[in-house]
Structure 1
Amino acid sequence: MKNLITDVAGLRVGNAQDPRIASGVTTVLFEAPAVASIAIHGGAPGGRDTALLEPGMTVESVNALVLSGGSVYGLDSMGGVTAFLRAQGQGFSVGAIKVPIAPGAVLFDLLNGGDKDFGGEPIYWRLGFEAAAVAGLDFSLGTAGAGYGATTADLKGGLGSASAQSASGFTVGALVAVNAVGRATIGEGPHFWAAPYEREAEFGRLGWPALWPSPDFKIKSVEPQNTTIAIVATDAALTRSEAKRLAVMAQDGMARALRPAHAAMDGDTVFSAATGLASKPATLTDKIEIGALAADCLARAIARAVYEARALPFAASPPDWRKRFGKS
């Protein structure tokens, strides 16, 4: 177990980023089409082909899922991933044509200090293609891929991942680009809201603060520069409706790790995917545990994203967790 979403059999992850524009793309590629769905709990989401993931829609499975920076411009990244998949002969067959299914979501990172004068270049299309081309079992966390330009209310955001196994042996994983209007840490200290779910010091093993801060809670001046987007996956075989329930349950991980979550200017989109490569069918009890673990993994992945991130070299970039709290 690598404590990454790639511990789930049947998928790979690729990152691509451009330091000049301070943004990037992360994609999950599936070795075989995976059943997928989605839950959107934020008030300001941005996505492509997300409606087809609802129960009752015709195409039941996807070839890839994409997370991207760039707000509306980042929607081009799904086109780059689609182009890569078509070149590999993948996609939904329509006559003699292959139509790759690669839904995705975007976050807002346009005010982080990077050069956003894209000109006429479809830069996110290129980043999407590059991310798909390098997909593998190992990938970077923190200031990488879709998390490259991400921020939170007070700290640098980033890309995070985590995994777990259920009591019956099913694998669950989460991948997240944390770009939240809220905070991942408690008050002005280094402790993470996700502390109760931490495993093996994956984000410092600080636990809860010895003294809790004042219950007073103030929201900083809110600009539309947020959205946390995530993917959870399992090797269990699920139906589209069951994948929908998995995405809904996983949304609890955002509420456990970020304060606030699901607000008016959050996108808070969670994709779910089931590769179906487990050696046995999942019972109803198994599926409930998989959903609970997905929420835990997402909370852990959010904390890992902030813990592993490094600040960008721009005045607009907030400090990273390690620099602010003097941790190595």
Structure 2
Amino acid sequence: MRATLARNLITDVAGLKVGNATDLTLGSGVTTILFDEPAVASVDVRGGGPGTRETDLLAPDETVGAIHAITLSGGSAFGLDAAAGVMAALAERGIGFPVGDALVPIVPGAVLFDLLNGGNKEWGRFAPYRDLGYQAANAAGLDFPLGTVGAGTGATTVSMKGGLGSASMLCSTGHTIGALVAVNACGATNLPGMPHFWSAPFEQGGEFGGLGLPHPLPALPDPPALKGLPAGANTTIALVATDAVLTKAQAKRLAVMAHDGFARAIWPVHTPLDGDTIFAAATGKRELADPVFDLALIGAATVATLARACARAVYEANALPQRGAQPSWRDLWGGPPLS
């Protein structure tokens, strides 16, 4: 595994762009990932309360071989509408899976629960997520902010504000790895009562404070602190991507391995209260020299990259403007101002 790349964002992977739509009054938002060309993708769900769309077609034995976009959204099940807005934006551009003379954009997605964060959810008959998805798709580019933005706008953890995080690196195989995550965990990204991140061993360039781990490591509380919301009311959702040429089966294995990035960054994770879901996508720019060992090394790099992205999501977040909003890492521990 090697150093981070220029942006230290998932858009360092050639062939994709990211757009966000953020509504601070709502306390929620949408993040979408658009692929320049249809991308091979799969998904793995480990949480007990997921909210997903179009994930069955990502199984290796299903007919559709590639996708056009992915949405990560707040809003719980209401947020599944975000994909319809992304589909509308793609349809306007003539992008879709051909079915006779019709084109159908393939847009899987996952949602997190942010309905109780103090934002104004009195949206009337229809939730705003379709429009937010459309806005996010039309805002897609190579550079984007982190923290309280897009799908991470209303995200929280057990002890401090969650958010949107991203990171990238160059794998020892020569392939580029990227991760994008909205951290809304039942558990914590930080050691109990400390500013130190569980992801510290993977940090590069002081990207989330350069604090390392405390010495000696403290004993962990039993039981661990949990957010205390019901099943399905917490969820960390992510996309990991590479420029490698992968089959759907290989993308599935990458998604499976990537969950170790959650385990390195969040404690506890994959609980019955979470809906933890990871998509894996390959933009197909660089062949594997060895289909087994290269995939293993890419998987290991992906774990490290996703763990870093989880910490950046919390480190970069600001508290929502609503009264009584959950404090951010900076509110609790200080640190340099956000750029």
Q: Same fold by TM-score, threshold 0.5 exceeded?
A: yes
Q: Name whichever of 164-173 and 302-311 sits farther off.
A: 164-173
Q: Which residue of 2 aligns with 1:252?
A: 260
* Residues 34-73 of structure 1: pairs in structure 2 closer than 5 A: 34-73=39-78
Q: Which residue of 1 aligns with 2:126?
A: 121
Residues 170 and 236 of structure 1 are in contact (CA less than 8 Å); yes or no, is this contact kept in structure 2? yes
* Residues 272-291 of structure 1: pairs in structure 2 closer than 5 A: 272-278=280-286, 280-283=287-290, 284-291=292-299
Offset at 1:259? 0.3
Residues 160 and 305 of structure 1 are in contact (CA less than 8 Å); yes or no, is this contact kept in structure 2? yes
1:226 partnered with 2:197: no
* Matched letter for residue 288 of structure 2: P
- The TM-score, its normalising length taken from structure 2, stands at 0.94
Instruction: Give ranges in structure 2 of 5+ residues lacking alignment.
Output: 1-5
Residues 236 and 282 of structure 1 are in contact (CA less than 8 Å); yes or no, is this contact kept in structure 2? no
1:30 partnered with 2:35: yes
- The TM-score, its normalising length taken from structure 1, stands at 0.98
* Residues 88-127 of structure 1: pairs in structure 2 closer than 5 A: 88-127=93-132
Q: Which residue of 2 aligns with 1:197?
A: 202
Q: Could you tell me how far apart the structure 2 residues matched to 1:122 and 1:311 are?
A: 23
Offset at 1:17? 1.1
Q: Could you tell me how far apart the structure 1 residues matched to 2:333 and 2:304 are?
A: 25
Q: Which residue of 1 aligns with 2:23?
A: 18
Q: Could you tell me how far apart the structure 2 residues matched to 1:308 and 1:221 are?
A: 20
Q: The residue matched to 1:156 in structure 2 has which SS?
A: coil
Q: Which residue of 2 aligns with 1:213?
A: 218
* Matched letter for residue 41 of structure 2: A
Q: Which residue of 2 aligns with 1:318?
A: 326
Residues 16 and 131 of structure 1 are in contact (CA less than 8 Å); yes or no, is this contact kept in structure 2? yes
Q: The residue matched to 1:275 in structure 2 has which SS?
A: strand
Residues 112 and 316 of structure 1 are in contact (CA less than 8 Å); yes or no, is this contact kept in structure 2? no
Please give the per-residue CA displacement for 1:261-320, whole angstroms capped at 9, x wherever unaligned: 000011110000000012x43422211111111111110000000000000122342110
Please give the per-residue CA displacement for 1:55-93, whole angstroms capped at 9, x wherever unaligned: 101101000011000001100001000111111111100
Q: The residue matched to 1:304 in structure 2 has which SS?
A: helix
Q: Which residue of 2 aligns with 1:7?
A: 12
Q: Could you tell me how far apart the structure 2 residues matched to 1:168 and 1:75 are?
A: 36
Offset at 1:213? 2.8
CA RMSD, 1 decimal: 1.1
Identity of aligned residues (%): 57
Given candidates 291, 303, 307, the residue that maps to 1:299 is 307
Residues 193 and 258 of structure 1 are in contact (CA less than 8 Å); yes or no, is this contact kept in structure 2? yes
Q: Name whichever of 75-84 and 211-220 sits farther off.
A: 211-220
* Matched letter for residue 304 of structure 1: R
Residues 111 and 316 of structure 1 are in contact (CA less than 8 Å); yes or no, is this contact kept in structure 2? no
Instruction: Please identify runs of 4+ aligned residues in structure 1 that moved more than 4 A.
Output: none
